[in-house]
Chains A and B, each alone.
Chain A
Amino acid sequence: MNDLRDRFTGRLEDRRFLTGTGRYVDDITLPHQAHMALVLSPYAHAVLRGIDTAEAEAMPGVLAVLTGADVLADGLGPVPPFFMPKMWGGPEGYATLRPILCTDRVRCVGDRVAIVIAETRDQARLAAEMVAVDYDPLPVVTSARAALEGDGVPLWEDNPTGNLSCSLEMGDKAATAAAFAAADVTLHRHFLTPRLAPASLEPRGCIGHYDAGEDRYTLHTSSQDPHGFRAVIARNVLKCAESRIRVISPDVGGGFGLKAHMHPEDALVLWASRRTGRPVKWIATRSEAMMTDTQGRGQEIEAEIALNRDGKVLAVRATAWTNMGAYFWGTATPPFYFAMQLIPNVYDLGAVDLTNHAVFTNIAPMSVYRGAGRPEATFVMERLMDEAAAAIGMDPVELRLKNVIAPEAMPFKTATGMVYDSGEFANMIRKARAAADWAGFPARAEASRAKGLLRGRSLISYIEVAGVMNERMELRFEPDGTLTILAGTHSHGQGHATVFTELVADWLSIPAESIRYVQGDTDRILVGRGTFAARSSMLGGSALLRAKDALIERAKEMAAVVLQAEIADIDFEQGMLKVRGSNKALSLIEAAKLFYLPAGPANLLGIGLTGAGTAAGKPGAAPNYPNGCMVCEVEVNPKTGALTIERFVAFDDVGRILNATLCEGQIHGGIAQGLGQALLEAMTYDEDGQLTSGSFMDYCMPRAEHMPAVDSYLLEVPCATNPLQVKGVGESGAIGTPAALVNAVMDAIRPLGVTSIDMPVTQARLWQTLRDAEAGV
């Protein structure tokens, strides 16, 4: 592993980011560009009685003030979810139809009510302040359980199931009940995973440009999935052919799932441009971003585990309430689904009985955030395992080893229907235990005690499902013999330009300098799904491999003509097309150039040397299952609630390693976000549905001081479901870390009689928990 790291000399994309020449949306200025500002609902739930735009329209620089009535008048359609659980075999559910501007009702703080377009950003914002909106407040509900228990006015009156969109059920109720009845020990815990802000450092932003001469729209937007944005905007909002919209996502300053689906502004700027005849830019302020961005997580769960005294786990039963917010929006289905489906984790659980309720409330919509349901599932299972180990007096590592799925059992179908292809879970646990000096813990705990501190430790396993949807990649030789990668995936920090270029350079034996990487432009890329859910190594990589194969096959046709041989007799080796059994050869680059000459063999074979490849994942084809093991050790000051992370070891099975340094970079970043979830972050609303964590002064994300040293180890267990044998890595760190940290804290404070602590485990919460324990609360 070290030698792989030593070879790293930087990424191909680094120079522009390091020199300030990256191109994020707000760095782009189109000629005659105007600016859009939003009028957002200050109420969490209200009837919209009326909007008076007269004063705003009279403000300096204002070009237009548009409302929901204008949306309806112009025939712009509402936006349904990207897909519902039904597409993955789940229940039908109530899918909301969200207008891009509200017409008669607002359902959360930050709902879009009107837009103002003006010459400058400041003018637009000042005028937006002058739009007078008449609201008639309605009762508000912010908790998912309360919204079902009759406290909440229904958000969607045509939904026959009130505030419930759907209930997803998995497992076998009867078998689980039987296992619980037969078990030596059962225990129950209640867990909360707060809502989190993805908080990409680049806020969402976009520029819409309607070209009346061409009758065509161009959208520059900070997106993880340009083609997906285009499809939704074309089909649902503008109701035009997708080819009439070009979506360009240049450099994107972090996504984490936030930018995996369009937000109303992406359609609003296009419409505003059509209305005003000017390109229209909108860049979220941070407070707008906090209020209007989709959020991740937001789950309450009652979970039970049944096991025997010897440590054999028999069953898990759980009921969860997922706070969908005001709309079923974007890609909310995957977290809702995976939060249940991955509960079995790396264990052979016997039976499960799992229910997840998707509930509407008066807060911002939930959608994907790094991990998307997998951290919730891991948290439930790993917290239960530690509580169970404590209950039966067993070492928590031994309990896990007793229940993990053996490599010989692969492919293994879990109680929730996932089929794991590969993984060495016990091996990984043993390695992690050794690397973290698990055996030396008692001495370290004693040393902590001598200082008046409590020491706790944890070892957790996680599993991830990566590789959703299909993907397409294309390779195209240019007439000068250089090569272009046309990627359907989308890198926004992951380093695809480097990894995909390295792969192609290696396969074709051509220098990386002669390869150009193109992404994020629907006019240049035929189709693509973008990047989220750790999908790009497997799907982008495998599609790229097949594109390479197709390209070589075509190049062989040229070699056959030039070298006067049969195609079947031509081999491709180290950049050369060779006639088997002879010394006749043609370089791939020379063959490529011949394909572009104005006369010659290209007349016979057709002009151009390209290759396209496709790869498929879930649903319909097998995904991959990255997995890993983390060991964490913490020290708690019982007087102050101060917490320090003393040790953090991460083992990650990423399948075949494509670039070790970039893998570790993903793991570090995921751990930081998992640490944020465990210890610092929560999007919070008061009882009126007002956002109380609306800026970076209120929403605490990890800084350098929060981050412990991490011992990261990559394990290569080849994946059986794709030709590159790779597994995803983008979400790995974020999935296991919350469970690792909270279990370590619990291990430290359980002896004081504490049975549970909610995330985020802030110093204040830890201090209060310790005081409550002292007082016997």
Chain B
Amino acid sequence: MRDIVLNVNGKTRHARIEERTLLVSLLRDTLGLTGTHVGCDTSQCGACVVSIEGETVKSCSVLAATLPDGTAISTIESLATSDALHPMQQAFSECHALQCGYCTPGLVITAIDIVRKNPEGLTPDLIRKELKGNICRCTGYLNIIQAIMRGAAAMGVPTLAAEGEAQ
């Protein structure tokens, strides 16, 4: 067993965990943050994506005990205020970019990261490539791509529709 201290969604959280505990289990089972999901166990699907010190990471592939004390982690629960959704969450809703909702938290975290990593601008093709680590079994992705374009615009990043892309 090991004692760890993490900064999760802006709050200091203490936990006593086994060495083999995955970050996703710590978040879900110990801290009760069940918005981060498990879809595949082999880091293929991206339902468990969270942000660690600003980097998007599949939390099923991280041993929680390996994180230095004080590491900052943000999960889907950190994005909305009681008044308003994050612009990316809002865009997902407006573009009907979610159906069953299971992959959605990982996709929203990934989408925000895509926008931050590409301040020069986004195209649908670039978004397609950037989404290589996420599986959505419901939507067929087209509305997700549109939502990320819309969310990016709302976050102040320019977007460029590729030729032939459905608007």
Do chains A and B stick together as partners? yes
User: Are B89 and A11 closer than 8 Å at their CB atoms?
Assistant: no
User: Are B165 and A18 closer than 8 Å at their CB atoms?
Assistant: no
User: Are A20 and B142 closer than 8 Å at their CB atoms?
Assistant: no
A702 to B105 Cα, complex, angstroms: 19
Minimum distance in angstroms from A539 CB to a CB of chain B:
20
A702 to B101 Cα, complex, angstroms: 17
User: Are A493 and B99 closer than 8 Å at their CB atoms?
Assistant: yes
A residues in contact with B13, CB < 8 Å: none
B residues in contact with A9, CB < 8 Å: 93-94
A672-B135 contact in complex given A17-B104, A18-B80, C-beta closer than 8 Å: no
A253 to B90 Cα, complex, angstroms: 20
A17-B98 contact in complex given A27-B34, A201-B39, A493-B138, C-beta closer than 8 Å: yes
Interface residues of A in 693-716 (CB under 8 A from B): 695-697, 701-705, 707, 709-712
A669-B139 contact in complex given A18-B98, A202-B37, A493-B101, C-beta closer than 8 Å: yes
Minimum distance in angstroms from A240 CB to a CB of chain B:
32
Say which one of B40-48, B64-72, B115-123, B152-160 lies at the interface with A: B40-48
Nearest A residue (CB) for B142: A668
B residues in contact with A665, CB < 8 Å: 96, 99, 138-140, 143
A residues in contact with B90, CB < 8 Å: 10
Interface residues of A in 701-745 (CB under 8 A from B): 701-705, 707, 709-712, 733
A254-B138 contact in complex given A26-B38, A669-B99, A696-B45, C-beta closer than 8 Å: yes
Nearest B residue (CB) for A495: B99
Minimum distance in angstroms from A228 CB to a CB of chain B:
19
Interface residues of A in 651-703 (CB under 8 A from B): 661-662, 664-665, 668-673, 695-697, 701-703
A709-B34 contact in complex given A18-B93, A696-B135, A704-B145, C-beta closer than 8 Å: no
- Please report whether the interface of chain B is mostly helix, strand, loop or mixed according to DSSP: loop
A14 to B143 Cα, complex, angstroms: 14
A281 to B165 Cα, complex, angstroms: 45
Minimum distance in angstroms from B21 CB to a CB of chain A:
9
Q: When the two chains form the complex, which single residue of A11, A14, A24 contacts B102, counting CB atoms closer than 8 Å?
A: A24
B108 in the interface (beta carbon within 8 A): yes
A13 to B100 Cα, complex, angstroms: 10
Q: When the two chains form the complex, which single residue of B33, B102, B128 contacts A253, counting CB atoms closer than 8 Å?
A: B102
Nearest A residue (CB) for B75: A20
B1 in the interface (beta carbon within 8 A): no
B residues in contact with A8, CB < 8 Å: 94, 96
A695-B36 contact in complex given A201-B136, A254-B102, C-beta closer than 8 Å: no
B residues in contact with A17, CB < 8 Å: 98, 100-101, 104
User: Are B166 and A710 closer than 8 Å at their CB atoms?
Assistant: yes
User: Are B105 and A11 closer than 8 Å at their CB atoms?
Assistant: no
A18 to B87 Cα, complex, angstroms: 11
A400 to B150 Cα, complex, angstroms: 41
User: Are B98 and A695 closer than 8 Å at their CB atoms?
Assistant: no
A640 in the interface (beta carbon within 8 A): no
A756 in the interface (beta carbon within 8 A): no
Minimum distance in angstroms from B149 CB to a CB of chain A:
13
Nearest B residue (CB) for A290: B40
User: Are A19 and B85 closer than 8 Å at their CB atoms?
Assistant: yes
Minimum distance in angstroms from A88 CB to a CB of chain B:
29
Q: Number of A residues whose C-beta is below 8 Å from B?
A: 60
User: Are A286 and B137 closer than 8 Å at their CB atoms?
Assistant: no
B residues in contact with A14, CB < 8 Å: 92-93, 98, 101
B103 in the interface (beta carbon within 8 A): yes
B8 in the interface (beta carbon within 8 A): no
User: Are A15 and B85 closer than 8 Å at their CB atoms?
Assistant: yes
User: Are A286 and B164 closer than 8 Å at their CB atoms?
Assistant: no
B19 in the interface (beta carbon within 8 A): no
User: Are B37 and A18 closer than 8 Å at their CB atoms?
Assistant: no
A416 in the interface (beta carbon within 8 A): no
Q: When the two chains form the complex, which single residue of B20, B33, B135 contacts A701, counting CB atoms closer than 8 Å?
A: B135
A695-B34 contact in complex given A15-B85, A494-B99, C-beta closer than 8 Å: no
User: Are B140 and A18 closer than 8 Å at their CB atoms?
Assistant: no
Minimum distance in angstroms from A512 CB to a CB of chain B:
15
A15 to B77 Cα, complex, angstroms: 11
User: Are B131 and A254 closer than 8 Å at their CB atoms?
Assistant: no
A residues in contact with B76, CB < 8 Å: 18-20
A200 to B103 Cα, complex, angstroms: 10
User: Are B100 and A492 closer than 8 Å at their CB atoms?
Assistant: yes
A203 in the interface (beta carbon within 8 A): yes
Q: When the two chains form the complex, which single residue of A15, A16, A26, A200 contacts B137, counting CB atoms closer than 8 Å?
A: A200
Contact with B along A5-38 (1 / 0, CB 8 A): 0001111011111111110101100000000000
User: Are B138 and A669 closer than 8 Å at their CB atoms?
Assistant: yes
A287 in the interface (beta carbon within 8 A): yes
Nearest B residue (CB) for A662: B96
A10-B99 contact in complex given A20-B76, A203-B39, A707-B142, C-beta closer than 8 Å: no
Q: When the two chains form the complex, which single residue of B44, B98, B127 contacts A697, counting CB atoms closer than 8 Å?
A: B44
A672 to B166 Cα, complex, angstroms: 16
A residues in contact with B100, CB < 8 Å: 17, 200-202, 251-255, 492-493
User: Are A285 and B89 closer than 8 Å at their CB atoms?
Assistant: no
A residues in contact with B37, CB < 8 Å: 24, 201-202, 253
Minimum distance in angstroms from A83 CB to a CB of chain B:
27
User: Are B44 and A710 closer than 8 Å at their CB atoms?
Assistant: no
B2 in the interface (beta carbon within 8 A): no
User: Are B89 and A19 closer than 8 Å at their CB atoms?
Assistant: yes
Interface residues of A in 249-287 (CB under 8 A from B): 251-256, 285-287
User: Are B94 and A704 closer than 8 Å at their CB atoms?
Assistant: no
A256-B42 contact in complex given A24-B102, A705-B132, C-beta closer than 8 Å: no
B129 in the interface (beta carbon within 8 A): yes
User: Are A18 and B92 closer than 8 Å at their CB atoms?
Assistant: yes
Q: When the two chains form the complex, which single residue of A286, A673, A705, A712 contacts B40, counting CB atoms closer than 8 Å?
A: A286
Nearest A residue (CB) for B99: A493
A733 to B28 Cα, complex, angstroms: 35
User: Are B101 and A707 closer than 8 Å at their CB atoms?
Assistant: no
A199 in the interface (beta carbon within 8 A): yes
Nearest B residue (CB) for A673: B137
Residue with the highest number of chain B CB atoms closer than 10 Å, among A21, A665, A704: A704
A residues in contact with B44, CB < 8 Å: 695-697
Minimum distance in angstroms from B46 CB to a CB of chain A:
10
B63 in the interface (beta carbon within 8 A): no
A709 to B164 Cα, complex, angstroms: 8
User: Are A696 and B96 closer than 8 Å at their CB atoms?
Assistant: no
B residues in contact with A20, CB < 8 Å: 33-36, 75-77, 105
Nearest B residue (CB) for A254: B100
Q: When the two chains form the complex, which single residue of B33, B131, B138, B166 contacts A705, counting CB atoms closer than 8 Å?
A: B131
A residues in contact with B112, CB < 8 Å: none
User: Are A709 and B102 closer than 8 Å at their CB atoms?
Assistant: no
Q: When the two chains form the complex, which single residue of B47, B94, B140, B164 contacts A707, counting CB atoms closer than 8 Å?
A: B140
User: Are B93 and A710 closer than 8 Å at their CB atoms?
Assistant: no
User: Are A18 and B104 closer than 8 Å at their CB atoms?
Assistant: yes
Minimum distance in angstroms from B148 CB to a CB of chain A:
10
A residues in contact with B39, CB < 8 Å: 201-203, 286, 696
B144 in the interface (beta carbon within 8 A): yes
Query: What are 26 A-B residue pairs whose CB atoms fall within 8 Å in the complex?
Result: A11-B93, A11-B96, A14-B101, A18-B93, A18-B98, A19-B77, A19-B85, A20-B36, A20-B76, A20-B105, A27-B28, A253-B100, A254-B99, A286-B42, A493-B101, A493-B138, A665-B99, A668-B139, A668-B140, A668-B143, A669-B139, A696-B135, A703-B131, A704-B134, A707-B140, A710-B166
**6 further interface pairs, Cβ-Cβ under 8 Å (given A9-B94, A668-B141, A696-B44):** A9-B93, A19-B79, A20-B36, A201-B37, A286-B41, A733-B140
Q: Write the residues of chain A forming the contact surface with B, with a CB cutoff of 8 angstroms.
A: 8-11, 13-22, 24, 26-27, 122, 199-203, 251-256, 285-287, 492-495, 661-662, 664-665, 668-673, 695-697, 701-705, 707, 709-712, 733
A-B complex: 6 closest residue pairs judged by Cβ atoms: A20-B35, A17-B101, A253-B102, A668-B140, A493-B100, A493-B99
Q: Write the residues of chain B forming the contact surface with A, with a CB cutoff of 8 angstroms.
A: 20, 28, 33-42, 44-45, 47, 75-77, 79-80, 85, 89-90, 92-94, 96, 98-105, 108, 124, 127-129, 131-132, 134-145, 164-166
